[in-house]
Amino acid sequence: DAGVTQSPTHLIKTRGQHVTLRCSPISGHKSVSWYQQVLGQGPQFIFQYYEKEERGRGNFPDRFSARQFPNYSSELNVNALLLGDSALYLCASSPRRREVTDTQYFGPGTRLTVL
């Protein structure tokens, strides 16, 4: 079975540009979360989506937005890029079964470099 896939794998942008990152969850998983991981740190939670609705948001500015599609894939958009947005962006999917503690499965990430 395919795991979580993300595209592109690497991306180079300049300050002020915008970027769209994509994620396809594991088949059957309805929840997608996005994380930002700056070099040398643990992942920081950005968003969680379930059934196309935002269910959680971390402490990120409004320049960050996301959406989930009917097939449960997701996009993360970042506008007006800053140098500090350079990071590995991780997508994680989970089945979101309410009766048990959920488990997240991570994709390989998109490495974004802002020059």
Specify the stretch interacting with another protein by CB under 8 A; choose among 12-20, 49-57, 63-71, 75-83: 49-57
Nearest to 68 by CA among 56, 51, 90, 44: 51
The binder of another protein chosen from 11, 13, 30, 44 (CB under 8 A): 44
Q: Is the Cβ of residue 67 or residue 79 nearer to another protein in the bound state?
A: 67
In the beta sheet, which residues pair with residue 45?
Answer: 35
CA distance 53 to 63: 18
Residues 79-108 that bind another protein (CB under 8 A): 88, 90, 92, 94, 96, 101-108
Residues 6+ apart with CB under 8 A from 59: none
Number of residues located near another protein, criterion CB under 8 A: 30
CA distance 28 to 94: 9
CB of 21 to another protein, least distance (A): 13
Beta carbons of 46 and 34 less than 8 angstroms apart:
yes
Is there binding between residue 60 and another protein (CB under 8 A)?
no
**Residue ranges that bind another protein, judged by CB under 8 A:** 4, 31, 33, 35, 40-45, 48, 50, 55-56, 58, 88, 90, 92, 94, 96, 101-109, 111
